[in-house]
């Protein structure tokens, strides 16, 4: 999966799935960014995660090697991962605003997109777009189905990057997602159907 450069037409980013073969590249990005959000290692939304999990890096690697953690990794032309979009089944991933979500759940989704991350020196360069597009392609290749996320609106307000770890509603809408119900001050459940590839 590639996103073309507007100037050269060549691939700007390449998207590959997180797995044993890409673990080292993923880990390099996390270490370069000090563990992500205070050492999260992208485990906060994993259903198996508990506060006392111990070594989060080791926990995440175990999930990846067992096929229980998924993400679309965005590689630059130098072969470095500059961002990702985490996705997985409902059994694999939880979502933010769970209490409000459970009060009136939307139609059952097969897949969830729980978080996104872009290296701070590479933000606003299309990496989140490439990651979400890559995740949707990987979901299609795995049989497709309904996909849901809980994301934040940013239109008409300024939001700190750390509050946008779930992407923005506007980003999801550009990829065909539709707003469902509001579950927080700026948070919405969004969803769409993905056809199987």
Domain count of the chain? Answer: 1
Which helix (H) or strand (E) segment holds residue 189: the answer is strand 187-194
Domain ranges, residue 173: 2-194
Specify the range with the lowest mean pLDDT, choosing from 3-7, 42-46, 55-59, 153-157: 3-7
> What is the distance between the alpha carbons of residues 98 and 87, in angstroms, rounded to a whole number?
17
CATH number at residue 19: 3.40.630.30
pLDDT tier at 53, thresholds 50, 70, 90: low
CA atoms within 13 A on the CB side of 114: 22
Tens digit of each residue's pLDDT (9 = 90 or more) over 127-175: 999 999 999 999 999 999 999 999 988 776 565 555 567 789 999 999 9
- pLDDT > 70: what percent of the chain? 88
For residue 98, the model assigns a pLDDT of 84
Q: Bigger pLDDT: 81 or 123?
A: 81
Q: What is the pTM of this model?
A: 0.89
Q: Is 162 helix (H, G, I), strand (E, B) or coil?
A: helix
For residue 7, the model assigns a pLDDT of 43
């Amino acid at each position: 999966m590639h996103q073309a450069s507007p100037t050269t037409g060549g691939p700007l980013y390449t998207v590959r799935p997180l797995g044993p073969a890409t673990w080292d590249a993923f880990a390099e990005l996390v270490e370069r960014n000090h563990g992500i959000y205070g050492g999260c290692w992208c485990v906060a939304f994993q259903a198996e995660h508990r506060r006392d999990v111990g070594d989060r890096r080791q926990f995440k690697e175990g999930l990846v090697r067992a096929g229980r953690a998924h993400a679309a990794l965005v590689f630059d032309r130098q072969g470095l991962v500059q961002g990702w979009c985490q996705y997985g089944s409902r059994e694999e991933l939880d979502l933010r605003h769970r209490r409000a979500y459970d009060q009136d759940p939307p139609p059952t989704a097969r897949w969830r997109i729980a978080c996104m991350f872009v290296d701070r020196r590479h933000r606003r360069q299309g990496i989140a777009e490439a990651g979400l597009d890559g995740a949707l392609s990987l979901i299609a290749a795995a049989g497709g189905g309904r996909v849901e996320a809980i994301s934040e609106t940013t239109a008409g307000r300024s939001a700190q990057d750390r509050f946008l770890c779930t992407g923005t509603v506007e980003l999801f809408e550009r990829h065909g997602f539709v707003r469902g119900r509001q579950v927080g001050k700026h948070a919405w459940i969004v969803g769409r159907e993905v056809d199987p590839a």
